[in-house]
Structure 1
Amino acid sequence: MNIKQLTLAVSLTCTSMLTFADVAVIVHPSNNNALDADAIAKIYTGKVKSFDDGSKIIAIALDSGNPIADEFNEKALKKSSSQLKAYWSKLVFTGKGTPPKEVANDAEVISLVASNPSTIGFISAGAADGSVKVVQSF
């Protein structure tokens, strides 16, 4: 293998690792509600509005167009970002739902989730720290 082929192989490997980054769903450390993949999908599509313990859910999402948001939508919700946008547009137009609040980056999601036991968010898996609890990875 020559240097050009090796450089190409390393570049492709790094790119594919970035493209398929793991997404972590996080909650406040005191949140002990059971949250499987199905429950998370229902939360992020507005079908469930409160946790099992009765507390109202405040869902936080990364801005649409963020690669981690795209990854979450594909893996957790089984929808492309454009499909999800169309879905929420219909619900908002008919008065049947409000999409999750969007924020700019992982740090902002972590800050909001760490400060409120009713919040749930998703971030790149490597960004999780001790101020939040990871409940699911995609």
Structure 2
Amino acid sequence: MTRLFLLLTTLLLADAAGGAEPGLRVVVNEANPVTSLSREELADLFLKKVSSWGDGTLVLPVDQLEETAVRENFNREILRKSSNAVRAYWQQRIFAGRDIPPPERESDGAVLAFVRRNRGAIGYVSAESSMAGVKALTVRR
């Protein structure tokens, strides 16, 4: 019984370390050579603190709609901010004339379509979404 418990615990921990956060997957265009990013690197991409990939391709982050559960999860677990804090961040950036927030898409399917069409795109979707035509990244802790 103890061995079974240890095996199940190990498998669950390995699964959690290998993907994004529970309930979501971070995806990029299949042509993107990146296979993993840290939470901090992801936050820098989505907050537009980094504007290009290592090969010089422009980073094109895409968000889910603000009121969706997957966006709330992404903000909390990856950006380490509440939705209100993310909104305030972008209001300050806009007011200062520095930048605008990433475009929003209304569904996982719309995010996946955007990522498929744009080489520099990065987005996030529900974990159960089909990954056809995109590449799911490993999020390093």
TM-score interval, normalised by the smaller of the two chains = 0.7 to 0.9
Name the structure 2 match of 1:32.
33
For the Cα contact (< 8 Å) 1:125–1:137, is it kept in 2? no
CA distance in 1, matches of 2:138, 2:41: 11
For the Cα contact (< 8 Å) 2:29–2:116, is it kept in 1? yes
For the Cα contact (< 8 Å) 2:26–2:125, is it kept in 1? yes
CA distance in 2, matches of 1:25, 1:87: 22
- Sequence identity of aligned pairs in percent? 29
For the Cα contact (< 8 Å) 2:37–2:139, is it kept in 1? no
Q: Which has the larger radius of gyration?
A: 1
Which of 50, 55, 69 aligns to 1:67? It is 69
AA at the equivalent of 2:82:
S
Which of 98, 119, 137 aligns to 1:135? It is 137
Runs of 4+ in 1 over 4 A off after TM superposition: none
Taking structure 1 as the reference length, the TM-score comes to 0.80
CA distance in 1, matches of 2:139, 2:53: 19
For the Cα contact (< 8 Å) 2:63–2:103, is it kept in 1? yes
Q: Which runs of 5+ in 2 are unaligned?
A: 1-20
State the number of aligned residues: 119
AA at the equivalent of 1:48:
V
For the Cα contact (< 8 Å) 2:26–2:136, is it kept in 1? yes
Name the structure 2 match of 1:52.
54
Alignment of 1:1-138 (within 5 A): 21-33=22-34, 35-136=37-138
Alpha-carbon RMSD across the aligned residues, in angstroms, is: 1.7
Query: Structure 2 vs 1, CA of residues 136 and 98 (structure 1 numbering), >3 Å: closer, same or farther?
Result: farther
1:86-122 per-residue CA deviation (whole Å, 9 max, x = no partner) reads 0100001101111110010000000110111111101
CA distance in 2, matches of 1:92, 1:136: 31
AA at the equivalent of 1:61:
D
* SS in structure 2 of the partner of residue 35 of structure 1: strand
Taking structure 2 as the reference length, the TM-score comes to 0.79
